[in-house]
Structure 1
Amino acid sequence: MRDAAVCSVLYTVRADVARAVIAYSGLEIAEVFPGRAVCALAFVDYRDGDLDSYHEFGVAFLVQPPGRAGATGLGELAHAGTFVHWLPVDQGFTLEAGRAIWGFPKELADIDLRLGSPFKRCIVRRDGRLVLDLLLRPGLPVPGPPALTGLEAYTHRDGVTRQVPWAVRARGVRARPGGALIRLGNHPIAKELSELGLPKRALMSSTVDHAEMIFGAARELRPGDAEAPVRRSAGGPA
């Protein structure tokens, strides 16, 4: 993906509920505070890439990579991977490609992005029902060159959990503590988010004016992988 605008917000949530939500993946939640995990909500305007232009919303959790099960504390933020739990999009081509190539849990939804004002807003509806209405207030500019940052994403589809190497080069980054206002609807995903115990105040929020993303080849995780460190691999552009 050659150019995208990204808005994201992090919330601390109940670790026991988050653990139950993603139990199907076989991965372990990263417990960064006692009894608390981190849930990330993000909305993206993909403007230029091999999968065409489209809008996307994501619900993800910070997880422990294989080989670090049982570790807790703020230090886990430096090691945590990102498990993508729900990933609605508004175009069919990216839905099919994302499912087939990386195992992303993509679904079609109505995603209304409003990025042209000082406040960034995303309204997601699925099956005619409101999932959420999320409003972000951009923070202060984050200094520094747009370095390529490597991450580990995890997906699950058709009974298989996969590791997806992922790298991002970001320009025009702003961040702040808090900075988000969320209204949940009556869709089952909204109920799930409510049960996580989202606090009124977000941990932090960020916006990126221009992001370049590179996704590597997905690797299936087998039961034995939980006892061994994950092997990183390079990939090509999405």
Structure 2
Amino acid sequence: MASHLIQGRTVSMPVRVRDAAVCSVLYTVRADAARAVIAYSGLEIAEVFPGKAVCALAFVDYRDGDLDAYHEFGVAFLVQPPGRAGATGLGELRHAGAFIHWLPVDQGFTLEAGRTIWGFPKELAGIDLRLGSPFKRCIVRRDGRLVLDLLLKPGLPVPGPPTLTGLDAYTHQDGVTRKVPWAVRARGVRARLGGALIRLGNHPIAKELSELGLPRHALLTSTVDHAQMVFGEGRVL
């Protein structure tokens, strides 16, 4: 079994998350702007509508897992797997992976583990999660500056038993792009069209999101009360 030594602790693969709450929102953004943002990765944006890409914002309360308890916020883009460049349309959603562009966390151990094991772009930030009310809110600050304030209104329950869903994540660090196998089992899922309100601050990431066209009407909002996750060993592309 593969393992990694992080801050004197052995982290065995795969890494497991036993319980987490996840809130996410999808936005359609200009494909050319998204393409410019992730050009450094060498990956191609999944153009699900003509001239449109999908940007995902997510905040997660990791309650129990191999990398301890912590809060996380993520900015990701749906991308085409290598070899499918040029394909367009909604059908590409079933092939798309998630390129993780920015991934602040609030704890040092998960930061080092994420960067070392998978090349996730983790950095320390202040992440204020407010999940105890009907509205779910996340406020992210970095270097003393507001990045964003995101408020989600949960939708209707999504029926069906929890199933293990696989999704490939992609990362890029120090000139190396990796593909990371990632699987999620979710319980207590709610979803709705729209349902998000975002306020951007004056941080460079906020400026980047503004140049993508945010704030704007959300495409889809989802919340998960209890998620389990498995992260496998990354593979260099």
Report the TM-score, using the length of structure 1 for normalisation.
Answer: 0.92
Residue 84 of structure 1: aligned partner: 100
The structural deviation recorded for 1:40 is 0.1
* CA distance, structure 2, for counterparts of residue 184 and residue 166 of structure 1: 29
| Alpha-carbon shift at residue 67 of structure 1 (Å) | 1.4
The aligned counterpart of 2:114 is 98
Residue 52 (structure 1) aligned with residue 64 (structure 2): no
1:198 matched residue in structure 2: 214
- Give runs of ≥4 in structure 1 deviating > 4 Å: none
Q: Deviations over 1:47-70 (max 9, x none)?
A: 000110000000000000011110
Instruction: Give percent identity, aligned residues only.
Output: 89
Q: Say whether the 8 Å CA contact 2:99–2:169 is kept in structure 1.
A: yes
1:183 to partner: Cα distance:
0.1
CA distance in 1, matches of 2:231, 2:27: 25
User: What stretches of structure 2 of length at least 5 have no aligned partner?
Assistant: 1-16
Q: Which residue of 2 aligns with 1:34?
A: 50
CA drift of 1:200 comes to 2.2
Partner of 2:83: 67
Partners in 1 of 2:97 and 2:48 — Cα distance?
13
Deviations 1:79-129 (A, max 9, x none): 100000000000000000000001100000000000000000000000000
- Over the aligned positions, Cα root-mean-square deviation in angstroms equals 0.5
The verdict on how the C-alpha distance between 1:18 and 1:27 changes in structure 2, with shifts beyond 3 A counting, is: same
Instruction: Provide, for residues 141-196 of structure 1, a one-character-per-residue CA deviation record: whole Å limited to 9, x for no partner.
Output: 00001000011000011110000000000000000000000000000000000000
Partner SS for 1:47: strand
> For structure 1, which runs of at least 5 residues remain unmatched after alignment?
222-238
Task: Please tell me the residue identity of whatever aligns with 1:212.
Answer: Q
| Shift in Å, 1:199 | 5.3
TM-score normalised according to structure 2 size: 0.93
Equivalent pairs counted in the alignment come to 221
Deviation at 1:198, TM superposition (A): 2.5
- 8 A Cα contact 1:60 1:85, kept in partner: yes
One-letter amino acid of the counterpart of residue 159, structure 1 = G
| Preserved contact between residue 13 and residue 199 of structure 1 (Cα < 8 Å) | no
Deviations 1:13-35 (A, max 9, x none): 01001000000000000000111
Q: CA deviation at 1:78?
A: 1.0
